[in-house]
Structure 1
Amino acid sequence: MKEHQLSRAEIETLLTEESVGNLGTISEDGYPYITPVHFVWKDEKIYIHGLRVGQKIDYLTRNPKVGFEVFRMNRLIHDAELPCDTNTDYQSVIMQGKAQMVTEEDLCIKVLDAVVAKYTPQHAGKSYPPAMLKATGVIEIEPFDITGKYFR
């Protein structure tokens, strides 16, 4: 077993509390394309909202295999004597999964409600203008592998 593995509860906490994750898609040329995104962890899946069109959408539509990463850096740990002996107190979660665009309007609204609750709770309970809903896309990532590591 690998050292410094996060428990399932610690993984869930990190996915719930962190504000920014990194979505890795694959370009048509086979190169990785990494995008920082806001996200929510809901029902054992990652949900990302944004515009319905764009580079990351094009890439995940062509190839639904994605990576997703969340990282929390708590502090640097410096050695008192050696200038290059520095470590990091951190937690991270890395997952692989399949992504797709959510097409069901009810699910999109539930995800947007979760996004609002996480990032702008002062707007919770408000309705979404129809033009905004039409322009907003929701990506769903169903993970097949999730790992978490830490160093303290």
Structure 2
Amino acid sequence: MKLIGRLEIKSYEKIEEFLSEEHVGRIASIDENGYPQIIPMNFVFVDGAIYMHSYLRGEKLDNIARNDKVGFEVDRELEFLPSYFSHPTDASQADTLYISIVIKGKASLVQDYEEKSLGLNGLMKKYQPEGNYIPLQKDDLALDEVAVIKIIPESLRGKYKIGQHMRRDSRMALANKILKRNSSTARQTLKVMGFEVVGDDKLRMIDEPVW
């Protein structure tokens, strides 16, 4: 339990920041046979709610109409840690550094056209930051051609594993192994972990990884 507590994201601002950066989330609804259906979706987090756009018909919309309780999950794999970082032969020692957000809440189809345009404009602002679009207004006919799903969270929890549960010397040792392995994500991972790469092969800790 102590480890789980140390992995929990306690900063709501960090959760908002993470959700604003990630492009794919997964909505889980319950189908007519009682099985969970999980669909990857573009999304935006606005005013404490998740908004997504959809076709006007589809299984997930039928699921929501029947049972509005849903799950929503967003994650980022920061770095795979090969087993040899910890043990030369024990494959079970492989691990992953990650960030994840899990939401439980109630979903609905947005009927109010002003809120519908709010959600769709939020999506455009997030995914098309360069602009080159005309924001939708509440009286635009285009709003009739798309469904907007809204999730109001009843539970919003985040977990992250970036070395914050380790002693400072162990965290530095891990960071050096990540730098030496030099994966395509290594330098970004080190930045998230609170390290700065100095020169080609030196590290300096610039921030304690506390969320």
- 1:148 and 1:124 mapped to 2: Cα distance? 34
Deviations 1:19-62 (A, max 9, x none): 00000000011100000000000001101112121111110111
Distance 2:132 2:121 in 1: 7
- Name which of 10, 13, 20 aligns with 1:16: 20
Measure the CA separation in 2 of the matches of 1:124 and 1:32. 38
For 1:147, the equivalent position in structure 2 comes to: 157
CA contact (8 A) 1:78 1:85 kept: yes
Which structure: larger Rg? 2
Which of the numbers 71, 91, 108 marks the counterpart of 1:83? 91
CA shift at 1:10, angstroms?
2.0
Q: Is the CA contact 2:32–2:63 (under 8 Å) kept in the aligned structure 1?
A: yes
Query: Which stretch has the larger CA shift, 7-16 or 29-38?
Result: 7-16
Name the counterpart of 1:33.
37
Partner of 1:61: 65
How far is 1:132 from its partner? 3.3
Counterpart of 2:189 in structure 1 is none
Shift of 1:72: 0.7
Q: Which deviates more, 61-70 or 115-124?
A: 115-124
- The residue matched to 1:28 in structure 2 has which SS? coil
Q: Which residue of 2 is the match for residue 137 of structure 1?
A: 147
State the alpha-carbon separation in 1 of the partners of residues 74 and 150 from structure 2: 16
| Percent of residue pairs bearing the same amino acid type | 34
| C-alpha RMSD of the superposition | 1.8
CA distance in 2, matches of 1:4, 1:140: 28
Richer in helix (by share):
2
Letter paired with 1:42: V
AA of the residue aligned to 1:66 = V
Deviation at 1:135, TM superposition (A): 1.3
Aligned residues: 152
Any stretches of 5+ residues in structure 2 without a counterpart?
163-211
Q: Distance in 1 between matches of 2:130 and 2:121?
A: 12
Give the C-alpha shift of residue 14 in structure 1: 1.5
